Amino acid sequence: MPLVINDEYPEKLFRDDGKRLDGRDKTELRPIKMEVGVIENADGSAYLEWGNNKIYAAVYGPREVHPHHLAKPDSGILRVFYRMTTYSVFERKRPAPGRREKEISMVITDCLKPLLFLELYPGTSFEVFIEVMDADGGTRCAATTVAALALADAGIPMKSLVTAVAVGKIDNELVVDLSGIEDKAGQADLPCAITWFNEELSLLQFDGDMNLEEMEEFLSLAKSALSDIYEIQLAALKKKYIDIQEEVSGGNS
């Protein structure tokens, strides 16, 4: 029997008990799991599960630029390849990179660039490959978060990590971390990313309608959510080494 996917959106995005459709509070994040060093042959890699999103990121570099004409004589270049697998969404995604993927690759590149010291590596490229295995809303934020982890795991000098989250408006309520259905059926959607060394916004996109007061509120909501995700990022990055430390000290005593 073929799987029939209902294309209609529900009328209400809140349940009767005031929670969201997946049982979350308004400012509650989906469960997040992160891991680094998952791809053996990459210089650095990370894996992220954020709700139903499943994303791998791999970093290579510094290495020679191909095609060579892209190389800059005075600085390195950062290239991000955001791709979705054909099975990551309900309707089969055509495998060729589309307009949306190119745009997201571009915004993630611009988001990560201020972290790196590209001017120290002229004529080289750092390449970040992000592969979305399963998508359920907010993949650009999740991809930015996991790309920063992979860069840190590769040992590339960087000023700090970057963390991203989407906030939005559904049924006239402000909520944090939109899921796929809320993203599509909601009124507004605002993905934003923060670089922690100067606490500045490195990515801000907006779709929908809201007024300026709501915008302020949005950003303060996002800030607290971002610090929560940042903690998870730090823990994931350190876990790889702390595990070995504990194993070794446990073996001795």
Partner 1 sequence: MSFKDEEQRLKDDNQEEEAVNTEEDSDPDEFEDEETTRNLVVPGEILTTDTKTYLPGRGTILSQDRSKIISLNIGLKQTKKNYINVIPLRGFYTPRPGDKVLALVIDKNPVKYRCDINAKDDAILKPKNTMKRGRISRGMRGGPPDRDNSNAEMYDIGDILIAKIVSADRLNAPELTTVGKYLGKKNNGIVISIDPPKIPRVIGRDGSMIKNLKNLTKSTIFVTQNGRIWLKGEDIAHERLLIDAIRKIEREAHTVGLTDRMVDYIENEKKKRGLK
Beta bridge partners of 167: 176, 190
CA dihedral 209, 214, 219, 224 (to 10 degrees): -120
Q: Which of 6, 41, 211, 252 binds partner 1 (CB under 8 A)?
A: 252
Q: State in angstroms the smallest separation of the CB of 42 from partner 1.
A: 11
- Those residues with Cβ within 8 angstroms of residue 150's Cβ, 6 or more apart along the chain or in another chain: 36, 42, 44, 45, 46, 57, 58, 59, 128
**Looking at beta carbons only, is 53 or 125 nearer to partner 1?**
125
The contact mask relative to partner 1 for 133-172 (x = CB under 8 A, - = no) is: -------------------xxxxxxxxxx-----------
The contact mask relative to partner 1 for 72-91 (x = CB under 8 A, - = no) is: -x------------------
Binding residues with partner 1: total (CB under 8 A): 36
Q: Does residue 248 belong to the site contacting partner 1 (CB under 8 A)?
A: yes
What is the C-alpha to C-alpha distance for residues 180 and 200, in angstroms, rounded to an integer? 27
Q: Which of 86, 198, 224, 227 binds partner 1 (CB under 8 A)?
A: 198
Judged by CB under 8 A, the chain residues 21 through 50 that form the site for partner 1 are 43-44
DSSP label at 19?
A: -
**Looking at beta carbons only, is 50 or 121 nearer to partner 1?**
121
Residue type, 24: R
3-state SS of 125-183? EEEEEEEEEECCCCHHHHHHHHHHHHHHHCCCCECCCEEEEEEEEECCEEEECCCHHHH
**Looking at beta carbons only, is 152 or 167 nearer to partner 1?**
152
- DSSP state letters, 61-126: EEEE-SSGGG--SSS-EEEEEEEE-TTSSSSPPPSS--HHHHHHHHHHHHHHGGGB-GGGSTTEEE
**Looking at beta carbons only, is 198 or 220 nearer to partner 1?**
198
Query: Tokens 């009767």 belong to which residue?
Result: 16
Q: Which of 51, 62, 138, 168 binds partner 1 (CB under 8 A)?
A: 62
Q: Which stretch binds partner 1 (CB under 8 A): 9-17, 18-26, 102-110, 194-202?
A: 194-202
- Please work out, in degrees rounded to the nearest 5, the angle formed at the alpha carbon of residue 116 by the alpha carbons of 115 and 117: 135
Q: Does residue 237 belong to the site contacting partner 1 (CB under 8 A)?
A: yes
Q: State in angstroms the smallest separation of the CB of 248 from partner 1.
A: 5
Q: Does residue 215 belong to the site contacting partner 1 (CB under 8 A)?
A: no
Nearest to 83 by CA among 69, 70, 68, 98: 98
Q: Which stretch binds partner 1 (CB under 8 A): 101-109, 129-137, 209-217, 243-251?
A: 243-251
Contact positions vs partner 1 (CB under 8 A): 43-44, 61-64, 73, 115, 120-124, 152-161, 196-198, 234, 237-238, 241-242, 244-245, 248-249, 252
